[in-house]
Structures are given as C-alpha cells and as structure tokens.
Amino acid sequence: MHTELRDHIDARSAEAPLPGCRFCAAPLRRTFVDLGMSPLCESYVPAERLGDMEPFYPLHARICESCLLVQLEEFVAPEDIFTEYAYFSSYSDSWVAHARAYVEMAVERFGIGPDSLVVEVASNDGYLLQHVVERGIPAVGIEPAANVAVAAREKGIETVVEFFGRELAARLVAGGRRADLLAANNVMAHVPDLNDFVGGMEPLLAPQGVVTIEVPHLLRLVEDNQFDTIYHEHFSYFSFLTARKVLAAHGLEVFDVDELATHGGSLRLYAQRRSSGRRPVGPKVEALAERERALGFDTLEGHDGFSARVEETKWRLLEFLIQCRRDGRRVAGYGAPGKGNTLLNYCGIRTDLLEFTVDRNPYKQGQFLPGTHIPIRHPEALEQARPDFILILPWNLKDEIVAQLSYAREWGARCVVPIPEVEVL
C-alpha cells in the first residue's frame, strides 16, 4: 500500500516536474517574488482585438537554491517575443546618448580602430553601432527582430537577423570574423538559453578581445524595490556574483565592472578570455563582490523579504490613485514601457484609475496596454486632457521625462513616480 502510494506521488512529480535552473539545472523550489498572472508586456492590443482573449502567464520569480540565480520560467519562446519587437532604442534620447558615451569610452580604452571589428549582440535599430560606423570602424550587428534590423541597415550597419549563440558564433568565426570588442547590452537577462548565449562569446572574441555586458543589477532591483522590471521577457536577474559565476563557467574572466544608472541600476561587466586575456583584474571587481556578500547576496536568506515590500508598494500606489479619484483629480500616464505593464497588471489598475497613457513611439500609439487595456495616445493628448497628475511609468527616465513635460506645469500638473514608492515630484 505504502509502496503504491509513493509510486503514485513519484509518477505525478514526473508528469509535472519542477522547472530547472537555466544555468545549473537544479530544481527551482524557492520563490523570490510571485507577481501573479500577467500578459506578455510587449503584446500591445490593437483596437480591433480588444474583445479577444489574451494569454496570461505566471510572473513568478524563483531563486535557485544551488547557484542563487533569480529567474523566471520560460513560458513563451523568444521567437514569439523578439522577432517583431516594438522597442526601438533610438526613441529614447538618453539611451542614444548613453550608447555614444559607451562607444567613446570603449574605443579609447581598448584601442579600437579601423583595423578592429566591433560586434554587438541585440543591436536593435543601430542606436549604438551608428557611433562605431561613424568613426570608420567595421561593425556587425546581431538582431533577431527583423523590423528593427531594417532600421539599422538603413543607417548602413551590417546586421545579421538571428539569435546569438554558440552556433552563430562558430559561423562568424568560420567566416573570418573575430570581435576585438563584443558588446552585449541589455540582452543577457533576456535569453532563455543562457548557457548557449554566453557560450558563444568566448569563441567569437579575438585572443585579446574584450566583451562588455550590461545587465540590470539585482542589488538595485532589491534595494530600490524595482519589482516592475520583472516581466516574462526578462528571464534572469543577476547579482554581480551570479553573473561572474556564469561567465566563468564559459571561459570568461571579469576584469572590471562599472555600476551604471541605466535601467534603474545596471552593471557593465568587462571580461576577457581566461586563456589568453592579459588585462589585470581591477580593484572594483573584488570590492563589489565583497559588498554583495556583506548584503547577503551570497546566501538564500539574503534574498528574503522582498515579497512583503512589493505588496506594500502596490497598496500605497492604489491608495494614491483611489484618493485622486475621490478628490475629483484626473490621472494620466506617461510612457508605455514593459515595466509599466507589470506594475499596472500586478496592481489591477484600469482606466478608472489611469485614464490613458502617452508614448512617443508611433508603433504604440492608438493601441492599448496588454491586460489593462489602458489606451496609448500621442503625447499631445496630455495638453488636450490637462490631467492633474502624470504617472511616469518609465521611472528610470524620469529626469528626461520631467524635462519634456515642463509645459504641463502651465495647467498645474504634477509628475508622479510609482517606484520605489509612490512619490509626487
């Protein structure tokens, strides 16, 4: 009898196995934060499909008890997300400026010139490589979204429309291409097959080549309560310690690291081939590792307590929005970023609390936010509606947006950010 019962339980767990860690394959049992069910954050809804069903998937971040990588299970293949992508990097002024500053720094620091090759993974619409090509330096972009790759080619940037991994790296090397500088900005978090992606980097590097990787920093996510940066397309959430561990497993040595303000706080890792790189490891590497250890990022328990803070943030934002309505004040949004969709769906915010939002990206205008069906309008709609409060959804760009919205002060509008806690600016 006991044997039969146990057999039954074993069979059930074989049918519905726990998801495995995308880095080390250990079963994922432990919750980091569970944001419930949410639609894909870039699946904007056109007016004619407002009556259709929308798929919702769990937004349940877990932490691997073995390697400590915080991650989401893969519910939707990247082919379904990134092959027609609504995000054109060039629509953000500050992002283009960030890319220009990066190119100036990297060209100078690593002696990149007309005889070098710069490769960028997830090159989007050429927002970064345009600054490389301008200097007469050969460049290749790798970008799986055909619609944004077209925009890059129009800027004269050679672009391979594929996902990056070991196989593509091998083909590029077979074609005589080795990267003196390999840039992978804001992509490593978005790849479901992390080992295949990182595994393609070392082979593609020239012996003395440098890879730079920018990735949102889990430390900032936790300390600044940035739970809205958790969305289905963002599979992995790296501390410096876990990122370094993943790179080391694929033959790459991190020799320097910068902490950047982008995306609410990112890391820029500088790595080289462990076998042939000759750059000394700088002091910032061990200093940051030590800081993370002091904050508990080297232990499971060090990641606890985040869920409760996320709930509190939801309640405070709802209290603010409900009070606005009770006081007869109007609230509109600014921006239609992926992070806004996590926030609005998790908080259950609909048009009764947020009438509409606006976005500069014409691709999004006229469509509706996934799940919440809040309409996305042209920024001019703000001047027509004259709301009392403007909720800035891409809070990471708040300084740029507050400057853009200076005209709204004419009718007394105030800007509001929802994260880390709701705050009227």
Binding site for Zn ion (CB under 5 A): 21, 23-24, 26, 64, 66-67, 69
- Least separation, in Å, of the C-beta of 310 and Zn ion? 23
Token code pair at residue 71: 């991650």
| DSSP β-ladder status, 179-185 and 205-216 | parallel
- Least separation, in Å, of the C-beta of 69 and Zn ion? 5
Q: Please check whether residue 18 is in contact with residue 27, taking contact to mean a CB–CB distance below 8 angstroms.
A: yes
Residues in the chain: 425
Token code pair at residue 111: 């002696």
Q: Which of 30/109 has CB closer to Zn ion?
A: 30
- Least separation, in Å, of the C-beta of 237 and Zn ion? 12
- Least separation, in Å, of the C-beta of 149 and Zn ion? 33
Q: Which of 250/398 has CB closer to Zn ion?
A: 250
Q: Which of 67/215 has CB closer to Zn ion?
A: 67
Q: Please check whether residue 389 is in contact with residue 324, taking contact to mean a CB–CB distance below 8 angstroms.
A: yes
**DSSP symbols for 282-332:** PHHHHHHHHHHHHTTTTSSGGGTTHHHHHHHHHHHHHHHHHHHHHTT--EE
- Least separation, in Å, of the C-beta of 238 and Zn ion? 12
**Closest alpha carbon to 384 in 407, 365, 415:** 407
- Least separation, in Å, of the C-beta of 398 and Zn ion? 34
Q: Which of 23/255 has CB closer to Zn ion?
A: 23
Q: Which of 112/246 has CB closer to Zn ion?
A: 246
Task: Using alpha carbons, list the distances in angstroms from residue 108 to 101, 105, 135, 181, 213.
Answer: 11, 5, 12, 12, 18
Q: Which of 37/249 has CB closer to Zn ion?
A: 249
Residues 6+ apart with CB under 8 A from 269: 212, 213, 214, 215, 240, 243, 244, 247, 254, 256, 257
Q: Please check whether residue 158 is in contact with residue 143, taking contact to mean a CB–CB distance below 8 angstroms.
A: no
Q: Which of 26/161 has CB closer to Zn ion?
A: 26
- CA 285, CA 297: separation in Å to the nearest integer? 15
Q: Which of 68/129 has CB closer to Zn ion?
A: 68
- Least separation, in Å, of the C-beta of 255 and Zn ion? 24
Task: Using alpha carbons, list the distances in angstroms from residue 259 to 97, 100, 214, 268, 296.
Answer: 17, 17, 9, 6, 18
Residues 6+ apart with CB under 8 A from 234: 72, 189, 190, 216, 338
- Least separation, in Å, of the C-beta of 25 and Zn ion? 7
Q: Please check whether residue 421 is in contact with residue 365, taking contact to mean a CB–CB distance below 8 angstroms.
A: no
- Least separation, in Å, of the C-beta of 26 and Zn ion? 5
Q: Which of 63/211 has CB closer to Zn ion?
A: 63
